[in-house]
A and B are shown apart, each in its own frame.
Chain A
Amino acid sequence: MTIPVTIRIQDADFDIADEIARLSEGRTDIGAVVSFTGICRGSDGGEDIAALTLEHYPGMAETEIKRHAEQALSRWPLQGLTIIHRFGRIMPGQNIVLVVTASAHRQAAFEAAEFLMDYLKTSAPFWKREEGAGGTAWVEARAHDDSAAARWTKS
């Protein structure tokens, strides 16, 4: 049986409960579903954020996410996978990204979700620009995100 994989790059919001239900409905082989949702914060380092604008590279964003989804599928015994990444202007409190992993047991679902998020942060071609009181500024990449992704290449 083929594993249901959904990858969407969209400006519209998503419904987390709907996405989880779509992955698990009618299935009795799934014992664990893990979901991660990335949400726009209202402040960063004490500075208020009015909104985020996410720019992306159409075509490459899909290709890059698909590549990491395939790696996750080959590395963990997953029974379903959904990745949604939004672009455009996003207000504090609104969703940015969703990763849902389904497996027979929790460990694979937890690990695959974390692996995918670590790689989405450092390899998927998206760039955040913050709108604050002092104008707009591109968000700088954090070294912590690179080391989080690098740990999956060890062992």
Chain B
Amino acid sequence: MKVKYFAWVRERIGKAEETLDPPPGVRTVADLIAWLAGRGESYAYAFETPRVIRAAIDHTHVRPEATIAGAREIAFFPPMTGG
């Protein structure tokens, strides 16, 4: 699946997107955040406070308990500040 990062999540990780193949035990958005946080120092920093991280699956906002099965694109970003 394609994973995208925006704003300070993108800056902390140091990349805007990547293609990942998480292990089968990673079932939900919260699982994916925990798995990503273990991928290195920059990921740990980006995901150090999981409750502030927002996620979208295929362009739709989702909650941490949402399943990632079948997702083509998952995005992680801070709370939005547009408008």
Where the two chains meet, the residues of A that have a C-beta atom closer than 8 Å to any C-beta of B are 38, 54-57, 59-60, 63-64, 85, 96-97, 117, 120-129, 138-141, 145
Contacts and interface: CB of A to CB of B under 8 A. Distances in A.
A116 B35 CA distance: 36
Given A57-B75, A63-B59, A63-B60, A122 B6 contact: no
Interface of B: 4, 6-8, 56, 59-61, 75, 77-83
Given A57-B56, A141-B78, A127 B83 contact: no
B60 to A, nearest CB: 7
24 contacts: A38-B83, A55-B6, A56-B82, A57-B59, A59-B59, A60-B75, A64-B59, A85-B83, A97-B83, A121-B80, A123-B61, A124-B83, A125-B75, A125-B77, A126-B80, A127-B6, A127-B7, A127-B77, A128-B81, A138-B8, A138-B78, A138-B81, A140-B79, A141-B80
A57 B6 contact: yes
A123 B62 CA distance: 11
A9 to B, nearest CB: 10
B81 A125 contact: no
A138 B59 CA distance: 22
Nearest to B11: A138
Contact of B81 (A60, A63, A64, A140): A140
B75 to A, nearest CB: 6
